[in-house]
Structure 1
Amino acid sequence: MTTINPNAPPQELRTAPVIAGPWPNYSNCRHLPERDRWEVYGLAKAGRAALEDRGIVMDEPYDQFIARVTEELNI
């Protein structure tokens, strides 16, 4: 697993650390009421955005991330 220094300055996109997973799985939240599942969805997006703001590049494209999370949350 790659260790990321959150205090490191942002790097250029082509040299930024790439996170290849494993990705968090949100299927265990399917039992929650719909409103709560939408909140989990928002937290997942915010978490990814925070990592990207630090210069981290995900190997899972954003559209695939959204499709996966909405499927796992059944929303």
Structure 2
Amino acid sequence: MNRHQQTTTAEQDSVSVIAGPWPSYAAFKGLPDRDRWVLYGSAKAYRQALEDQGLVMAETYDAFIRRVCAELEI
């Protein structure tokens, strides 16, 4: 489902909200820059795959991006 589409009340009742704990990428901050960017892309793709399956994250997308960038120091 597109992130910008609204859902009906019935659809909202069947949504699974993932509240965490979130995977941490901090252990990878010592990797070369290119590798950290690959991990960043993988993290975004994994989140998108979960959202495509109908899961909703309690962590907003903007907060997710800020956290992953800070953990990877990019």
Q: What is the TM-score normalised by the length of structure 1?
A: 0.82
Between the aligned partners of 1:30 and 1:60, the Cα distance in structure 2 is 21
Shift of 1:46: 0.3
Please tell me whether residue 55 in structure 1 is matched to residue 45 in structure 2: no
User: What SS does the corresponding residue of 1:57 show, helix, strand or coil?
Assistant: strand
Please tell me whether residue 74 in structure 1 is matched to residue 73 in structure 2: yes
**Runs (4+) off by over 2 Å:** none
CA displacement, residues 26-52 of structure 1 (integer Å, 9 cap, x when unaligned)? 000001000000000000000000000
User: What SS does the corresponding residue of 1:51 show, helix, strand or coil?
Assistant: helix
2:19 matched residue in structure 1: 20
Shift of 1:70: 0.2
Q: How many residues align?
A: 64
State the identity as a percent: 59
Between the aligned partners of 1:18 and 1:56, the Cα distance in structure 2 is 6
User: Gaps spanning 5+ residues in structure 2: where?
Assistant: 1-9
Between the aligned partners of 1:29 and 1:39, the Cα distance in structure 2 is 11
Q: What is the TM-score normalised by the length of structure 2?
A: 0.84
User: Gaps spanning 5+ residues in structure 1: where?
Assistant: 1-10
User: What SS does the corresponding residue of 1:46 show, helix, strand or coil?
Assistant: helix
Between the aligned partners of 1:47 and 1:60, the Cα distance in structure 2 is 14
